[in-house]
Amino acid sequence: MIKQTLCFDNPAYLSAKNEQLIIKTSDGREISRPIEDIGVVILDNPQITITQNAVIKLLQNNAAVIHCNEKHLPVGMLFNLDGNTLQSQKFKSQISATEVLKKNLWQQTVKAKIQNQAAVLKIAGKDSRRLDHLAKNVKPGDSGNYEAQAAIWYWNLVFSDYVENFSRIFTIGGVVNNMLDYGYAVMRAAVARALTGSGLLPTLGIFHRNQYNAYCLADDIMEPFRPFVDLAVLEILQENSIDSLQEINRGIKQKLLLVLQCDCFFKKEKSPLLVALTRTTASLCACFEGKKRKILYPEIKHEPKRDKSV
């Protein structure tokens, strides 16, 4: 079953009873949702109250709970620390991973990210040949820094029809960056949730090593999933004029949250993204344990539009 993503952007009182999340709205309505069906909860209003019991029940069912600030951007998240019955055994295999293994895993991760970026460019009708070439030549540990080279080419092109001189570094195209930041933050939480569910520590990365970052591994593994968010933002830009997108409203948030339910592919096998995340993190765990040598990352499929006149 695909886990639900619940976003609360109006005042509400959330509690738990009989394994149900009880939602009391400001207009007096009461709604319930089975907690076992929930994967992500986003709290995006300062007038939301959630009971400790509800938080515990959500975490025990491996749901990620995300808190947003006054700008409606995620600023923190809670997740289950005991998501797998073989937790300590899996921790040990992760901690003892060799540098050779981690460099190999990062090579696979960067390659998958660049391949998905190339697919987004193709969907946008842009030249992806540079990225196709880079993806084929990524070395262990990405010693050639191909991820950064691909990023320069990619960001110069992907939104060029809608934003002039778009950049992820500067404030140009602010609303587009805000949409990307929102989508990435939700994706990061979903990745962290999947990692803990597979018995891994999201703190211990294979490439990211910031001592102040509690989610280094989540930041590593989400890299090939970022283009799924980029594609959602591209579709929003295709459907709306840039002048009409002054802020992240409810409709935009809903479209960005739907990324977690979008279809992705493992070769020819189609899978919802939340399910794909679980497959990816389970395969990573198997790599740490020496049972596999390759992480399963999903692909974005570029399917050329058919000429309706044919």
- Residue found under tokens 């000429």: 307
Q: Cβ distance 33 to 65 under 8 Å? A: no
SS3 144: coil
- Residue found under tokens 């591994």: 217
Mean pLDDT, the chain, rounded, equals: 88
Task: Examine the pLDDT at 305 and tell me if it is beyond 60.
Answer: no
Handedness of CA 261, 265, 271, 275 (dihedral sign): negative
For the CA atoms of 169, 174, 176, 177, what is the dihedral angle to 10 degrees?
Answer: 40
Tell me what the mean pLDDT of segment 193-204 comes to. 86
Q: Alpha-carbon distance 68 to 226, whole Å?
A: 20
In tens, the pLDDT along 224-252 reads 999 999 999 999 999 987 777 777 888 89
How far, in Å, are 169, 217, 233 from residue 157 at the CA level?
A: 15, 28, 14
In tens, the pLDDT along 82-132 reads 655 566 777 888 999 999 999 999 999 999 999 999 999 999 999 999 999
Say which residue, 180 or 1, is predicted with more confidence.
Answer: 180
- Residue 306's pLDDT is 41
Confidence of residue 203 (pLDDT cuts 50, 70, 90): confident
The two structure tokens encoding residue 165: 């001189």
Tell me what the mean pLDDT of segment 132-143 comes to. 96
Task: Examine the pLDDT at 200 and tell me if it is beyond 70.
Answer: yes
Domains, the chain, with CATH or none: 4-78 (3.100.10.20), 87-288 (1.20.120.920)
In percent, how much of the chain has pLDDT > 70?
Answer: 93
- Residue 212's pLDDT is 60
| Segment among 3-7, 156-160, 206-210, 301-305 with least mean pLDDT | 301-305
Q: Cβ distance 194 to 277 under 8 Å? A: yes
Q: Where would I find the beta strands (DSSP E) of 62-221?
A: 64-68, 74-78
Confidence of residue 197 (pLDDT cuts 50, 70, 90): confident
- Residue found under tokens 């090939």: 224
In percent, how much of the chain has pLDDT > 90?
Answer: 61
Say which residue, 214 or 12, is predicted with more confidence.
Answer: 12
- Residue 83's pLDDT is 55
Task: Examine the pLDDT at 309 and tell me if it is beyond 80.
Answer: no
Q: Alpha-carbon distance 87 to 198, whole Å?
A: 8
Task: Examine the pLDDT at 171 and tell me if it is beyond 60.
Answer: no
Task: Examine the pLDDT at 151 and tell me if it is beyond 80.
Answer: yes
Element (H, E) at 154: helix 146-157
Confidence of residue 310 (pLDDT cuts 50, 70, 90): very low
Say which residue, 272 or 1, is predicted with more confidence.
Answer: 272
- Residue 77's pLDDT is 80
Say which residue, 282 or 77, is predicted with more confidence.
Answer: 282
Q: Alpha-carbon distance 143 to 205, whole Å?
A: 17
Q: Which of 247, 246, 201 is nearest to 221 (CA)?
A: 201
